[in-house]
Amino acid sequence: MPLLLLLNNKTAITDEWARAGMTTEAIIFFADNHVTKEMLYPEFEAVLDRVVGISEFAGQQVPAVYLRIDAQLNVTAAVFFRLGFDGRGNADNSWNIPLQHLADKGARGPDLGAGVIKLSCRSQCAVSWHQRELWDPVTDSKPTTFEKIAALLKRNRLGLTVIEPEPVVQAQQNIPVLSEQFSAGQAAPANDAVRKQLQDDFKQRQAALLDEQKLRIATLKSEAREHVEKLHRHYRSEAAALALKHSEALQALANEKSISRRYKETLEAQAQNLHDEREQFQQNVTAAKNIETQQVAALEQKFAEELRATVDTATAELKEMLEMREVELFYREEQLGSLREEISQLRTERQALLSDGGDKLLSRLAQAGITFVAYQPGLDHLSVPQPDLFAYLESPSGYVAERYGVDQSLYEQWLAHYQLPVCRHKVDDSVCGEPITKVERPADFIPNDSDRCSQHDFATLHADKKEQA
């Protein structure tokens, strides 16, 4: 019932604001740079309070724009943000972007009819920890995102009341009439006024073009940075996969060498035994040359049986050793599985204990509007939602690495480099220690390359190996 009254009184609210000379707040949603839905800010607050849902946005992360609109349907401020929806079309309850604050603190944007607007987007955001939740408008193709917004407001599908600006009445000036007696000295003031007006217009247009180009350059830099981060993540994943394959191959090779060495030792021992037995047999044959043929045949048969028994015994011992090894591996896997289950159960119990004691207090703090912000060396302030606070307390470095899209090991290597930016190449059981340029972002850090000086980086060492080859 409150939402129905809110929708019915939408026109009355906009009329009252327009008559008072105030701006109207509205929200528009985009999909593939096309407007899909628009609403006034009170309706948007009902969506955030999960009073109503938007089924067409179910399970999506939707780009949207917060607008401030004057009485002539011109934009005065804009904030480009993203809002997630669950499978039922309800807004994410952990979403906490201060749209009005970002609109007040926005940088200079383009002129959309009422002068330069205040703009907050991914490439220019006054609050750094909200930057990753914003997006940049499209400015490199026609029509641009700003042109689409201006055209949408002119259609006025929100039903806003439009108040035309009062005409400016200018006092009639005594314009001198040129005549033969009109001297050049009298015409000079009029020319100076015209020239000043033209210069002011030119400066305004130049400032608007500069603002537009600055925004476009910032957008291109943001896109390039995201592309570089994507390439870095792809490179790190491939490097990790190759390193894992290399380690597995080395381990398999070491195992094969160990097995081969044991078999070789066994075969050499058996060969030595056979050689000794053959020599003994030859000595017996030489000594028994004068013995009857039956005795010689008996000796040969005995030797063959002993030889067969020796080979069978060695084979059985080897099989028994292999079976014992397999049994040991099986029991070890069972023990590891049992230990993993115990660890998982202990973590669950610990989480339950923490939740019973501190989760109620954290929920009360979150409902009171308190936001948890953590500081990490070399990074911006990090906003930690209330549901993720226990995960952050359990492993701050792991949580920060996950939020910034890198592995925990890579983040810890970068942190060591950030705190002491020196070359870590080992030379004769010691570290080089040459000062190097600090990498400011963990996503830009490449192990064994970013923490090396120019004499020990990957490219130089690779070139030296080729020359030696």
- Locate the domains of the chain by residue range: 2-165, 289-363, 372-468
- pLDDT value at residue 173: 44
Q: Is the pLDDT of residue 179 over 50?
A: no
Q: How many CA atoms lie within 13 A of 143 on its CB side?
A: 11
Q: Is the pLDDT of residue 2 over 60?
A: no
Number of H helices, E strands in the chain: 12, 8
Query: Which amino acid is residue 36, in one-letter code?
Result: T
In tens, the pLDDT along 326-380 reads: 888 888 888 888 888 888 888 777 666 655 555 666 677 767 777 778 777 766 6
Q: Is the pLDDT of residue 64 over 90?
A: yes
Read off φ and ψ for residue 218, nearest 5 degrees. Answer: -60, -40
- pLDDT value at residue 66: 95
- Identify which of 75, 216, 63, 225 has the alpha carbon closest to the alpha carbon of residue 138: 216
Answer with the residue of higher pLDDT: 164 or 243: 243
- pLDDT value at residue 167: 58
Average model confidence (pLDDT) for the chain?
Answer: 79
- Contact indicator for 378, 401 with CB cutoff of 8 Å: no
Q: How many CA atoms lie within 13 A of 223 on its CB side?
A: 11
Read off φ and ψ for residue 329, nearest 5 degrees. Answer: -65, -40
In tens, the pLDDT along 121-148 reads: 988 888 888 888 899 888 877 888 898 9
Residue 44 binned pLDDT confidence (cut-offs 50, 70, 90): very high
* Mean pLDDT across 210-217: 67
- pLDDT value at residue 17: 46
Q: What secondary structure letter does DSSP report for 198?
A: H
- pLDDT value at residue 58: 92
Answer with the residue of higher pLDDT: 101 or 8: 101
Q: Is the pLDDT of residue 43 over 90?
A: yes
How far, in Å, CA of 99 to CA of 404, rounded?
A: 23
**SS3 assignment, position 95:** coil
- Contact indicator for 42, 2 with CB cutoff of 8 Å: no
Q: How many CA atoms lie within 13 A of 324 on its CB side?
A: 6
- Identify which of 81, 132, 74 has the alpha carbon closest to the alpha carbon of residue 102: 81
- pLDDT value at residue 406: 85
Q: Is the pLDDT of residue 274 over 70?
A: yes
Q: Is the pLDDT of residue 246 over 70?
A: yes
* Mean pLDDT across 52-61: 92
In angstroms and rounded to an integer, the radius of gyration of the C-alpha atoms of the chain is: 40
Q: How many CA atoms lie within 13 A of 24 on its CB side?
A: 29
pTM of the model: 0.41
Q: What secondary structure letter does DSSP report for 445?
A: -
**SS3 assignment, position 395:** coil
